[in-house]
Amino acid sequence: MQLFLIAPIFIIIFYKKQIYGIYVIIIAIVLSLFASISPKILFGITPYLQLWDHNLDSADFPSANSVVYYHFTPNNYGISFFVGIAFGYMLRKKVVFTRSQEIYSWILSLVMIITVYFWHNSFWRLDKSEPLLNVFLWHSIGKLLFCLGFAWILYACCSGRGGLYLTLFFPFM
């Protein structure tokens, strides 16, 4: 909800001067990458994915508080929000891609989504936790990769370039 309050600022910047809008969105996405891992930097809250590195009875065990800070606070939705604004603007401006660019984008988006999915599944091992850097990269870069891949699928379907995907999953469009 809080991010919707600042959305008009970015949309106005896009409409006033497109190149400034692109720069501002890129800066906002980069800042959101850092905001995704800010609970550890600012408050020392360890991600819950570091489960096996803690004594389950200790006070520093990543509990529900960790889940809240790493999933439910607005700083974690900045990446998807700003990627959505960028793709929404591209949809509004009717950006044209060549056929080879579309094929490359489809392949890249599916690879990004599958990579993030399997990357996340690697965290649920029973013997030890992944390194903290790997967890932070997943919380930041992983979100960006998944959002970009998913945004391309939505963009392609909404602009009529969905192909087989559009026919299978959105038959009434």
- Ranges 23-27, 68-72, 77-81, 166-170: which has the least confidence: 166-170
Task: Say which residue the tokens 């949309």 belong to.
Answer: 11
Q: What is the pLDDT of residue 107?
A: 92
Q: Is the pLDDT of residue 164 over 60?
A: yes
CB atoms < 10 A from the CB of 34, how many? 13
Domains of the chain, residue spans: 2-169
Q: Is the pLDDT of residue 76 over 70?
A: yes
Q: What is the pLDDT of residue 10?
A: 85
pTM for this model (two decimals): 0.81
Cβ contact 33:83 at 8 Å: no
Q: What is the pLDDT of residue 126?
A: 62
Mind listing the pLDDT tens digit for each residue in 88-146?
888 888 888 888 998 899 899 999 999 998 888 777 666 667 777 888 888 889 999 99
CB atoms < 10 A from the CB of 162, how many? 19
Mind listing the pLDDT tens digit for each residue in 10-59?
888 888 888 898 899 999 999 999 888 888 888 777 777 666 555 555 55
Q: What is the pLDDT of residue 16?
A: 87
Six token digits for residue 137: 């990269």
Sign of the C-alpha dihedral computed for residues 157, 105, 110 and 29 taken in this order: negative
Q: Is the pLDDT of residue 163 over 60?
A: yes
Distance CA 94, CA 54 (A): 51
Q: What is the pLDDT of residue 108?
A: 95
